A = this chain, B = another copy of it.
Amino acid sequence: MAFAEEKKICFERISMDLRYGENPHEASFVYGAPAFDVLHEGKQLSFNNILDAEAAWIVASNLSRIGGGAVVVKHQNPCGAAYLVPGRTRVECVNLAIQADAESSYGGILATSFPINREIAESLKNYLEVIVAPDFEEEAVRVLSKKKVRLIQPRDYIPFNGKLAFGSLLISERKFEGIPELIFGQPYDINEILFSLIVAEGVKSNAIIIVRDGVTVGIGGGQPSRKRAAWIAVTLAGEKARGAIACSDAFFPFTDSLEVLIDAGVRCVVAPLGSIRDQEVLEYAQKAGISFYKSPIRVFRH
């Protein structure tokens, strides 16, 4: 549906049985058929599965901009992602995304920008709730059909953010656009910079993403303060933060989060500008000798 143009939108209730809604004591209702085909349903699709699947699919689709990649989502948030850096195979890419946060990937939703073939299917050892991909080879479906996983193949559609609030339906476009621009410091691989921003676009609430060698090493999010998201990201990254790239979904309101990142060894930062303290933030980064890429977009997801 092209919401932008419609004066009135109508949804027909469809008879999709999701057992329950967000929780077992809450009923669910589906209006309008979701734009996907279910190739295998080893276990009945749930309300949360569909929302997770879309969250993963949008990030995976955006990874096509840098040659393709894979992402694992938990609770509508990416917990690990990797892209096809030169020389990396698709099998390696998928498993790097899963291993990026192996603990969290268990029971996660995997989405890839490329088709799932037999080799990828056979390499998947972790329990996954859903796999979303633009295509599945017949042999891959056969291999995966032995598992409890659901296989989802999206059809063409335009994704929108839409939520009910106070009985009304609020809709926002969801767009990834533009290329980050180097403000100062040594240049980094632009695909690696874009990778950090594509993942940040999918992470909720004060996202701080640390990436290294085409894989996420620390994803901080879900926090009411940016400094806390930075603290989570560097704690998860540990030593891997040294020399890494960090992306912030929105501008740095203060230097505090930047300080957390730089102290952990981050050497390149990607973030939009727009804070009243931009000057102070940029000077802080420049004095620390790191590179600063200006993101063309703020990528809040709440």
Interface residues of A (CB under 8 A from B): 1, 3-4, 6-14, 18, 20-36, 47-48, 50-54, 57, 74-77, 79, 101, 103-104, 108, 154, 157-175, 177, 204-206, 221-225, 228, 232, 297-302
Determine whether the beta carbon of A168 is less than 8 Å from that of B11. yes
* Contact yes or no, A32 B77, CB < 8 A: no
Using known A-B contacts A77-B222, A104-B224, A165-B53, determine if residue A300 contacts B48 with beta carbons closer than 8 Å: yes
Q: How far is the CA of A57 from the CA of B166 in the complex (A)?
A: 10
B160 touches A301 (CB 8 A): no
CB distance from A105 to the nearest CB of B (A): 8
Taking a contact as CB atoms under 8 Å apart, the answer to whether A9 and B31 are in contact is yes
Please provide the 6 A-B residue pairs with the shortest distance between their CB atoms, ordered closest to farther: A222-B222, A21-B172, A162-B164, A104-B224, A74-B224, A34-B166
Chain B residues near A32 (CB-CB < 8 A)? 167-169
| Closest residue of B by beta carbon distance from A49 | B165
Contact call A175/B26, Cβ cutoff below 8 A:
yes
Contact B166–A28 (Cβ < 8 Å): no
Cβ A22 vs Cβ B225 within 8 A: no
- Taking a contact as CB atoms closer than 8 A, the residue among B168, B206, B299 that contacts A75 in the complex is B206
Are A163 and B51 closer than 8 Å at their CB atoms?
yes
Q: A13-B6, A25-B175, A224-B101 are in contact. Are A51 and B302 (CB under 8 A)?
A: yes
Q: Is B168 a contact partner of A24 (Cβ separation < 8 A)? A: no
A224 touches B77 (CB 8 A): yes
Complex CA–CA separation, A79 to B7 (angstroms): 37
Cβ-defined partner of A171 (8 Å) among B3, B28, B74, B77 = B28
Interface pair A75/B224, CB less than 8 Å apart: yes
Q: Are A11 and B8 touching (Cβ within 8 A)?
A: yes
Are A23 and B77 within 8 A (Cβ)?
no
